[in-house]
A and B are shown apart, each in its own frame.
Chain A
Amino acid sequence: MSLRTPLGRQLGLGSAHEGVHHWILQRATAVALVLLTIWFVLSIVRLPLADHAAITAWIAHGVNPVLLILLLVAAAWHSKLGVQVVIEDYVHGKHAKIALLLVSSFIHVLIAATAVLAVLRIAMRSVG
Protein backbone atom coordinates (compact mmCIF):
# COMPACT_ATOMS: atom_id res chain seq x y z
CA MET A 1 0.00 0.00 0.00
CA SER A 2 1.25 3.46 -0.80
CA LEU A 3 1.35 6.09 1.93
CA ARG A 4 1.66 8.91 -0.59
CA THR A 5 -1.15 11.40 -0.93
CA PRO A 6 -3.00 11.46 -4.26
CA LEU A 7 -1.77 15.02 -4.80
CA GLY A 8 1.84 14.06 -4.15
CA ARG A 9 1.52 11.23 -6.58
CA GLN A 10 -0.16 13.40 -9.18
CA LEU A 11 2.59 16.01 -9.04
CA GLY A 12 4.97 13.25 -9.92
CA LEU A 13 7.68 14.31 -7.48
CA GLY A 14 9.76 11.85 -5.55
CA SER A 15 9.82 8.16 -6.18
CA ALA A 16 6.74 6.53 -7.61
CA HIS A 17 8.95 3.84 -9.14
CA GLU A 18 8.02 5.38 -12.46
CA GLY A 19 11.65 5.61 -13.40
CA VAL A 20 12.17 1.87 -13.56
CA HIS A 21 9.16 1.40 -15.79
CA HIS A 22 10.33 4.21 -18.08
CA TRP A 23 13.86 2.80 -18.22
CA ILE A 24 12.70 -0.71 -19.12
CA LEU A 25 10.34 0.53 -21.83
CA GLN A 26 13.07 2.71 -23.35
CA ARG A 27 15.31 -0.39 -23.58
CA ALA A 28 12.60 -2.76 -24.75
CA THR A 29 11.60 -0.42 -27.58
CA ALA A 30 15.29 0.07 -28.43
CA VAL A 31 15.82 -3.69 -28.81
CA ALA A 32 12.77 -3.97 -31.06
CA LEU A 33 13.91 -0.97 -33.07
CA VAL A 34 17.33 -2.47 -33.82
CA LEU A 35 15.73 -5.20 -35.92
CA LEU A 36 12.78 -3.22 -37.30
CA THR A 37 14.77 -0.14 -38.37
CA ILE A 38 17.48 -2.20 -40.09
CA TRP A 39 14.79 -4.05 -42.05
CA PHE A 40 13.01 -0.81 -42.92
CA VAL A 41 16.04 1.24 -43.92
CA LEU A 42 17.51 -1.55 -46.03
CA SER A 43 14.15 -1.87 -47.81
CA ILE A 44 13.46 1.80 -48.32
CA VAL A 45 16.82 2.75 -49.82
CA ARG A 46 16.26 0.25 -52.62
CA LEU A 47 12.65 1.17 -53.50
CA PRO A 48 11.65 3.50 -56.36
CA LEU A 49 10.45 6.29 -54.09
CA ALA A 50 8.77 8.37 -56.80
CA ASP A 51 6.58 5.47 -57.93
CA HIS A 52 3.30 5.55 -55.96
CA ALA A 53 2.05 2.18 -57.22
CA ALA A 54 5.31 0.42 -56.38
CA ILE A 55 5.52 1.99 -52.91
CA THR A 56 1.95 1.13 -51.92
CA ALA A 57 2.38 -2.38 -53.34
CA TRP A 58 5.45 -2.84 -51.15
CA ILE A 59 3.67 -1.48 -48.07
CA ALA A 60 0.76 -3.88 -48.61
CA HIS A 61 2.87 -6.89 -49.48
CA GLY A 62 3.09 -9.95 -47.18
CA VAL A 63 4.16 -9.22 -43.60
CA ASN A 64 5.30 -5.69 -44.48
CA PRO A 65 2.20 -3.92 -43.09
CA VAL A 66 2.55 -5.77 -39.78
CA LEU A 67 6.25 -4.96 -39.48
CA LEU A 68 5.62 -1.36 -40.49
CA ILE A 69 2.95 -0.90 -37.81
CA LEU A 70 5.23 -2.48 -35.19
CA LEU A 71 8.09 -0.24 -36.32
CA LEU A 72 6.06 2.95 -36.22
CA VAL A 73 4.46 2.23 -32.85
CA ALA A 74 7.81 1.23 -31.32
CA ALA A 75 9.51 4.29 -32.80
CA ALA A 76 6.79 6.67 -31.58
CA TRP A 77 6.90 5.10 -28.12
CA HIS A 78 10.71 5.16 -27.87
CA SER A 79 10.76 8.71 -29.20
CA LYS A 80 8.09 9.80 -26.68
CA LEU A 81 10.11 8.38 -23.79
CA GLY A 82 13.34 9.88 -25.14
CA VAL A 83 11.97 13.37 -25.76
CA GLN A 84 10.40 13.27 -22.29
CA VAL A 85 13.84 12.81 -20.70
CA VAL A 86 15.26 15.66 -22.77
CA ILE A 87 12.42 17.99 -21.72
CA GLU A 88 12.82 16.96 -18.07
CA ASP A 89 16.55 17.70 -18.27
CA TYR A 90 16.45 21.09 -19.97
CA VAL A 91 13.14 22.75 -19.07
CA HIS A 92 13.10 23.89 -15.47
CA GLY A 93 9.94 25.99 -15.12
CA LYS A 94 7.25 23.71 -13.68
CA HIS A 95 4.40 24.95 -15.88
CA ALA A 96 6.50 25.10 -19.03
CA LYS A 97 7.71 21.58 -18.33
CA ILE A 98 4.22 20.14 -17.86
CA ALA A 99 2.92 21.99 -20.93
CA LEU A 100 5.77 20.74 -23.12
CA LEU A 101 5.42 17.18 -21.85
CA LEU A 102 1.72 17.30 -22.73
CA VAL A 103 2.39 18.69 -26.21
CA SER A 104 5.04 16.05 -26.81
CA SER A 105 2.72 13.25 -25.66
CA PHE A 106 -0.11 14.48 -27.89
CA ILE A 107 2.14 14.76 -30.93
CA HIS A 108 3.54 11.27 -30.39
CA VAL A 109 0.10 9.71 -30.02
CA LEU A 110 -0.96 11.59 -33.16
CA ILE A 111 2.09 10.27 -35.01
CA ALA A 112 1.37 6.68 -34.01
CA ALA A 113 -2.34 6.89 -34.84
CA THR A 114 -1.74 8.58 -38.21
CA ALA A 115 0.94 6.06 -39.14
CA VAL A 116 -1.15 3.01 -38.23
CA LEU A 117 -4.15 4.37 -40.10
CA ALA A 118 -2.07 5.13 -43.20
CA VAL A 119 -0.58 1.63 -43.31
CA LEU A 120 -3.99 0.03 -42.75
CA ARG A 121 -5.60 2.10 -45.48
CA ILE A 122 -2.94 1.09 -47.98
CA ALA A 123 -3.03 -2.57 -46.97
CA MET A 124 -6.86 -2.74 -47.03
CA ARG A 125 -7.12 -1.08 -50.41
CA SER A 126 -4.90 -3.69 -51.98
CA VAL A 127 -7.01 -6.46 -50.43
CA GLY A 128 -10.48 -5.06 -51.19
Chain B
Amino acid sequence: MRPRPMSPHASVYRFQYTMIGSLTHRMTGVGMSVGLLVLVAWLAAAAGGADAYAGTTAVLSSLVFKVLLALWLLAFCYHLFNGIRHLAWDLIYGFERREARRSFRMVVAAALILFAALAWLLFCRGGAAP
Protein backbone atom coordinates (compact mmCIF):
# COMPACT_ATOMS: atom_id res chain seq x y z
CA MET B 1 0.00 0.00 0.00
CA ARG B 2 1.20 3.51 -0.73
CA PRO B 3 2.10 5.57 2.34
CA ARG B 4 -0.76 7.88 3.27
CA PRO B 5 -0.24 11.61 3.38
CA MET B 6 0.58 12.88 6.84
CA SER B 7 0.38 16.32 8.34
CA PRO B 8 3.72 17.75 9.49
CA HIS B 9 5.08 16.29 12.66
CA ALA B 10 4.00 18.24 15.73
CA SER B 11 7.58 19.05 16.71
CA VAL B 12 8.02 21.43 13.77
CA TYR B 13 5.64 23.88 15.35
CA ARG B 14 6.83 26.68 17.57
CA PHE B 15 5.57 26.18 21.07
CA GLN B 16 2.49 28.24 21.84
CA TYR B 17 0.83 28.25 25.13
CA THR B 18 -2.58 27.40 23.68
CA MET B 19 -1.01 23.96 23.22
CA ILE B 20 -1.10 23.46 26.99
CA GLY B 21 -4.85 23.95 26.88
CA SER B 22 -5.40 21.32 24.18
CA LEU B 23 -2.93 18.87 25.68
CA THR B 24 -4.60 19.20 29.07
CA HIS B 25 -8.00 18.66 27.47
CA ARG B 26 -6.69 15.45 25.98
CA MET B 27 -5.06 14.26 29.21
CA THR B 28 -8.12 15.01 31.31
CA GLY B 29 -10.34 13.31 28.70
CA VAL B 30 -8.30 10.11 28.69
CA GLY B 31 -8.02 10.30 32.48
CA MET B 32 -11.79 10.40 32.77
CA SER B 33 -12.10 7.51 30.33
CA VAL B 34 -10.11 5.47 32.85
CA GLY B 35 -12.26 6.90 35.65
CA LEU B 36 -15.36 5.70 33.83
CA LEU B 37 -14.14 2.12 34.37
CA VAL B 38 -14.01 2.70 38.11
CA LEU B 39 -17.42 4.39 38.13
CA VAL B 40 -18.97 1.41 36.36
CA ALA B 41 -17.22 -1.05 38.67
CA TRP B 42 -18.69 0.89 41.60
CA LEU B 43 -22.20 0.74 40.04
CA ALA B 44 -21.87 -2.97 39.35
CA ALA B 45 -20.85 -3.51 42.98
CA ALA B 46 -23.89 -1.55 44.15
CA ALA B 47 -26.07 -3.80 41.96
CA GLY B 48 -24.32 -6.88 43.37
CA GLY B 49 -25.61 -6.34 46.90
CA ALA B 50 -24.46 -4.97 50.24
CA ASP B 51 -21.46 -7.31 50.63
CA ALA B 52 -20.02 -6.67 47.18
CA TYR B 53 -20.58 -2.96 47.75
CA ALA B 54 -18.81 -2.96 51.12
CA GLY B 55 -15.77 -4.65 49.58
CA THR B 56 -15.59 -2.13 46.76
CA THR B 57 -16.06 0.96 48.93
CA ALA B 58 -13.29 -0.33 51.22
CA VAL B 59 -10.92 -0.20 48.25
CA LEU B 60 -12.29 3.11 47.01
CA SER B 61 -11.85 4.80 50.39
CA SER B 62 -8.12 3.98 50.51
CA LEU B 63 -5.71 6.88 50.31
CA VAL B 64 -4.66 6.01 46.76
CA PHE B 65 -8.24 6.17 45.54
CA LYS B 66 -8.95 9.34 47.48
CA VAL B 67 -6.08 11.00 45.63
CA LEU B 68 -7.34 9.56 42.34
CA LEU B 69 -10.85 10.74 43.13
CA ALA B 70 -9.58 14.27 43.71
CA LEU B 71 -7.65 14.14 40.42
CA TRP B 72 -10.73 12.91 38.54
CA LEU B 73 -12.77 15.69 40.07
CA LEU B 74 -10.16 18.23 38.98
CA ALA B 75 -9.98 16.67 35.50
CA PHE B 76 -13.75 16.85 35.24
CA CYS B 77 -13.83 20.54 36.19
CA TYR B 78 -11.20 21.49 33.60
CA HIS B 79 -12.59 19.27 30.81
CA LEU B 80 -16.11 20.56 31.43
CA PHE B 81 -15.25 24.24 31.10
CA ASN B 82 -12.67 23.78 28.37
CA GLY B 83 -15.15 21.53 26.54
CA ILE B 84 -17.68 24.37 26.65
CA ARG B 85 -14.95 26.63 25.25
CA HIS B 86 -14.43 24.10 22.44
CA LEU B 87 -18.15 24.12 21.70
CA ALA B 88 -18.09 27.94 21.55
CA TRP B 89 -15.19 27.75 19.08
CA ASP B 90 -17.24 25.37 16.96
CA LEU B 91 -19.84 28.12 16.71
CA ILE B 92 -16.96 30.31 15.46
CA TYR B 93 -16.88 32.35 18.61
CA GLY B 94 -13.80 33.53 20.47
CA PHE B 95 -11.16 32.41 17.99
CA GLU B 96 -9.23 35.66 18.05
CA ARG B 97 -5.95 35.28 19.89
CA ARG B 98 -6.71 37.80 22.63
CA GLU B 99 -10.08 36.20 23.27
CA ALA B 100 -8.64 32.69 23.26
CA ARG B 101 -6.09 33.72 25.83
CA ARG B 102 -8.70 35.38 27.99
CA SER B 103 -11.14 32.47 27.80
CA PHE B 104 -8.33 30.07 28.71
CA ARG B 105 -7.74 32.01 31.93
CA MET B 106 -11.47 31.98 32.60
CA VAL B 107 -11.56 28.20 32.09
CA VAL B 108 -8.72 27.66 34.55
CA ALA B 109 -10.27 29.98 37.14
CA ALA B 110 -13.75 28.46 36.81
CA ALA B 111 -12.31 24.94 37.00
CA LEU B 112 -10.37 25.71 40.18
CA ILE B 113 -13.38 27.33 41.86
CA LEU B 114 -15.72 24.47 40.97
CA PHE B 115 -13.07 21.96 42.06
CA ALA B 116 -12.66 23.65 45.43
CA ALA B 117 -16.42 23.63 46.00
CA LEU B 118 -16.88 19.99 44.93
CA ALA B 119 -13.85 18.75 46.86
CA TRP B 120 -15.08 20.53 49.97
CA LEU B 121 -18.54 18.94 49.60
CA LEU B 122 -17.11 15.48 48.97
CA PHE B 123 -14.18 15.30 51.36
CA CYS B 124 -15.25 17.59 54.18
CA ARG B 125 -19.01 17.19 54.32
CA GLY B 126 -20.11 14.37 52.01
CA GLY B 127 -19.69 10.63 51.61
CA ALA B 128 -15.90 10.63 51.54
CA ALA B 129 -15.57 12.64 54.74
CA PRO B 130 -13.28 11.03 57.32
Contact = CB atoms under 8 A, between A and B. Distances in A.
Interface of A: 13, 27, 30-31, 33-34, 37-38, 41-42, 44-53, 55-56, 59, 72, 75-76, 79, 82-83, 86, 107, 111, 114-115, 117-119, 121-122
Contacts, number: 93
A49 B47 contact: no
Contacts of A51: 127
A102 B109 CA distance: 38
Contacts of B43: 59, 72, 114-115, 118-119
B84 A34 contact: yes
A45 B37 contact: no
A59 B76 contact: no
B100 interface: no
B61 A111 contact: no
Interface residues of B, number: 36
A37 B76 contact: yes
A47 B127 CA distance: 5
B76 A83 contact: no
A46 B37 CA distance: 21
